[in-house]
Amino acid sequence: MHILGISAFYHDAAACLLVDGELIAAAQEERFSRRKHDPRFPRQAIAYCLAEGGIGLDAVDFIAFYEKPFLKFERLMETYVAFAPRGFRSFVRAMPLWIHDKLFQKRMLTEALSALGAGERVGERLLFADHHQSHAASAFFASPFCEAAVLTMDGVGEWATTSIAIGRDNRIEVIKEILFPHSLGLLYSAFTYYTGFKVNSGEYKLMGLAPYGEPRYRDVIRDQLIDLKADGSFRLNLRFFDYCTGLTMTNERFHELFGGPPRQPDDALTQRHMDLAASIQAVIEDAVLALGRAAAADSGLRTLCLAGGVALNCVANGKLMRSGLFDDIWIQPAAGDAGGAVGAALAAFHQHLGRPRPHRSGDAMNGAYLGPAFSDDEIAARLTAAGARFEMMEETALIDAAAEALAGGAAVGWFQGRMEFGPRALGNRSILADPRHPEMQRTLNLKVKFRESFRPFAPSVLAENAADWFDVRGASPYMLLVADVRSEQRLHPSPEETALSGFDRLNAPRSTIPAVTHVDGSVRLQTVDAAVNPKFHRLIARFKALTGCPLVVNTSFNVRGEPIVASPEDAFRCFMGTDLDALAIGNAFLKKTDQDASLKHDGRNAFEPD
């Protein structure tokens, strides 16, 4: 049984292939098109998934799409009617797009799939899942749990913005929903917009900015913008928002409430913006904890699955994990719309067809390593064609060379095995560095990633050593939980350092691993298991043998505005456009000093800023 899952036409188009209930391949279209958050029909991602499965599209039994376009159109129409005559300008702009493209997505899907060789009667093989059904299925059916509460939180699908469900075996039953326009995702996006970041892209920047501020506006938000009840239900005060009827997220009432117009992207970030970020982050954490309590009470279960864009808020996830409401929490690593492709396929297999879940010891995501891989012969041929100068090594020698470079203060590109699915680099398409280096965060941000200096980096730590360095419960394989650095590794700031505020706090050492410790003493943690990613584990273990430190800085292999690299050519271009010192692709090792100087370029403006 072959099922192709697709998400497309809004944000982060992706495809996956399910074979007899097992996830064989999954990838976002952006990785192939090199257009970040590419929403277009995932032609190249589909081609990759089919190639990985060794089949043509005509051999696929069902094609599952991650939402129902007609219900989304119904929500759009009812919203405009409810708010008429306000929003007419937005209505006039949206309708031609919906009528021409989105309303007839089944026809568009059929035509696009036919062009890829789907064969006859492709329309009869198309299935459509509800948006939140796709998210919930991606969380529960891919989890290691036989039964669990399932909490989905995002901007909006067709109507639902938040849902609580119960998953048992091969069934998911939704027991509570909150509907548009009341949405935690849209509330957070409103502050993303107001603080000058790009909606549906910059929310993680807002989360990273929050620890620099104080939640001075928390009560204002709770009193004026959101009525949050103890049972997790909430309503937004729509008088302060423009997303229902206008072309922006916020309106003049919102701006007056918070003391001025939205920040422009090129304007300086002030303490006020940091305090706004801290405040909305605190409110989101309040809401997630309230919803977690409701999910625990309504389900009576001690395991929880999370999905939807809000589930990428790893700070809130960490607080939910530490709350004690659940014994274990599993978060879909592709929690946003890309993961909807996986959920649609799993919902088709288990709920539509009634097939049982396979027995497995872990989750179904295979460490999220579901994208393309390249053999050493392919890597050598591609690098040679690109003009690269490299040395092919045995694996042990390559690991030694990379670990020694890291220990010597180098920034190393690490391109290995299958590409990750989802927004996080988990050790196969990563930039690595020494976390002990006090200037490494600034160096990587400004000279390698070409992004804001305040942005934090994550540590990848040997799973067996994680509890010695961080206050963490269990594993965090997908970098979706925040934990605190243990007190033994913390440094005690001087009175002068304690008095610092805003970005000046970056200059105060916080721990023995300053490159990965955020200003509040927290980290966004990945635990690395030898059974899941043996080569990455071996590299970190070798770094530990050299330095005594069982972790490395891990950030995604890309520059600002660029999708994570997918091919050896992508990696080499990024390497030559940045201040990376070394690059390991498969068992090929490259030093910057060995490269043809004419191939160097400035990667700073190669992509549109995100």
Residues designated catalytic? 11
CA distance 309 to 313: 8
Nearest to 396 by CA among 544, 281, 571, 535: 535
Could you give the dihedral angle defined by the CA atoms of residues 162, 359, 66 and 2, in that order, rounded to the nearest 10 degrees?
A: -170
Structure tokens at 47: 């081609």
Helical spans, DSSP H, in 24-123: 30-33, 43-53, 69-83, 88-97, 105-115
Contact 148, 301 (CB under 8 A): yes
Nearest to 164 by CA among 153, 175, 172: 175
Residue pair 119/305 in contact (Cβ under 8 Å)? The answer is: no
Q: Return the DSSP state at 62.
A: E
Count the neighbouring beta carbons within 10 Å of the beta carbon of residue 584: 24
Q: Read out DSSP for 290-330?
A: HHHHHHHHHH--SEEEEESGGGG-HHHHHHHHHTSS-SEEE
Residue 288 belongs to what H/E stretch?
A: helix 271-299
Q: Taking the CA atoms of 492, 494, 498 and 501 in sequence, report the sign of the dihedral they define.
A: negative
Q: How far apart are CA 544 and CA 554, in angstroms?
A: 15
Is residue 595 within 8 Å of 576, Cβ to Cβ? Answer: yes
Q: Find the helix or strand (DSSP H, E) in which 470 lies.
A: strand 470-471
Give CA angle at 470 (469, 473), nearest 5°: 130
Q: Judge whether 279 and 217 are in contact, CB under 8 Å.
A: yes
